[in-house]
């Protein structure tokens, strides 16, 4: 299955889901819809997933052009994005994120929903930069950061919008492993094959058990985060 921005391929029960918009892999409504479809396809194929981006970027987060225009399309984008980590967290087969380089904001939260994250060495930046651009950190986003990061890094990431380089991202929980860029996909696929040796029923039951509270929190907080987005939009536009 190939679409304009999300590419799906299947080999030996390993599904590769690649986001590639030719630019910064912004998570527009179209891209998000295609990611959902790709995960549905992978689940139907009983496949372990390798999720990756393009060249030197995994994803720069939500499509800011859609955000700036506001309206229903922006709210639909936010809702789909906020719900996506819960979809990936509960996916019944292993999910590996192969991060090609820069990853920001919603791209970070998507990456952190994988079971195993592999980064690549280089002059790349990893950040949840909402506060830096004037946004209160969404509850869903904060929950995903807390799920993975060390306590000190969690505080700095949320409150200070700290930009992490690859090595500090590794030591603070964004990545489980870092490799050279030319080894990234080979490493991810090799690890995917190893994970297929797990008892996959036990894998699915265990991940859903330990993540049940997090998934409930995400789903409960989506409407609250959307209400915050509506209020923020109204404040910025001001009285008519």
Could you tell me the domains of the chain?
6-181 (3.90.226.10)
pLDDT per residue as tens digits for the range 176-201: 999 999 999 999 999 999 999 999 99
pLDDT at 232: 79
Find the helix or strand (DSSP H, E) in which 21 lies.
none
What is the pLDDT, as a whole number, of residue 2?
46
CB 31 within 8 A of CB 21: yes
Q: pTM (2 decimals)? A: 0.94
Please check the confidence at residue 238 and state whether its pLDDT lies above 60: no
3-state secondary structure of 124: coil
Helix H or strand E encompassing 139 = helix 139-148
**Encoded tokens for 109:** 């939260």
Calculate the average pLDDT of the chain: 94
Q: How far apart are CA 2 and CA 230, in angstroms?
A: 34
The 8 Å CB, 24+ separation contacts for 68-74 are 70/233, 70/237, 73/29, 74/229, 74/233
Residue showing tokens 């030719």: 22
Give the list of residues 6+ apart from residue 178 with CB closer than 8 angstroms, or none: 118, 119, 120, 121, 166, 167, 170
Predicted local distance difference test score (pLDDT) of residue 3: 53
CB 134 within 8 A of CB 100: no
What tokens were used for 71? Answer: 């309206």
Judge whether 109 and 184 are in contact, CB under 8 Å.
no
pLDDT of 236 higher than 90: no
With cut-offs at 50, 70 and 90, classify the pLDDT of residue 235.
Answer: low
State the average pLDDT over residues 7-20: 97
Distance between CA atoms of 19 and 6, rounded to whole angstroms? 5
The tens digit of pLDDT for each residue in 109-147 reads: 999 999 999 999 999 999 999 999 889 999 999 999 999
Residue 65, exposed/middle/buried by CB under 10 A (0-12, 13-18, 19+)?
exposed
Residue 11, number of CB atoms within 10 A of its CB: 9
Question: What pLDDT digit, counting tens, does each position of 139-172 carry?
Answer: 999 999 999 999 999 999 999 999 999 999 999 9
Query: What is the pLDDT at residue 240?
Result: 30
Cα 180 to Cα 197: distance, rounded to the nearest angstrom? 26
Half-sphere exposure of 77 (CA within 13 A, CB side): 23
């Amino acid at each position: 299955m190939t679409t304009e921005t999300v590419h799906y391929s299947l080999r030996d029960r390993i599904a590769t889901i690649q986001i590639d918009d030719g630019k910064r892999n912004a998570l527009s409504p179209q891209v998000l819809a295609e990611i959902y479809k790709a995960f549905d396809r992978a689940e139907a194929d009983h496949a372990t997933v390798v999720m990756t981006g393009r060249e030197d970027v995994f994803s720069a987060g939500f499509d800011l052009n859609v955000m700036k225009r506001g309206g229903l399309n922006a709210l639909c984008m936010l809702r789909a994005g906020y719900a996506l980590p819960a979809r990936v967290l509960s996916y019944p087969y292993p999910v590996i994120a192969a991060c090609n380089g820069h990853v920001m904001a919603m791209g970070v939260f998507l990456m952190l929903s994988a079971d195993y994250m592999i980064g690549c060495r280089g002059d790349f930046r990893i950040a949840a930069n909402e506060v830096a651009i004037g946004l209160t950190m969404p509850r869903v986003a904060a929950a995903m950061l807390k799920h993975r990061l060390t306590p000190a890094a969690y505080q700095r990431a949320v409150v200070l919008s700290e930009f992490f380089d690859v090595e500090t991202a590794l030591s603070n929980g964004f990545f489980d492993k870092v490799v050279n860029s030319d080894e990234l996909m080979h490493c991810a696929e090799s690890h995917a094959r190893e994970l297929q040796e797990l008892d996959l029923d036990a894998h699915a039951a265990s991940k859903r058990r330990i993540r049940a509270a997090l998934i409930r929190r995400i789903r409960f907080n989506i409407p609250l985060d959307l209400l915050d987005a509506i209020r923020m939009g109204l404040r910025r536009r001001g009285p008519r």
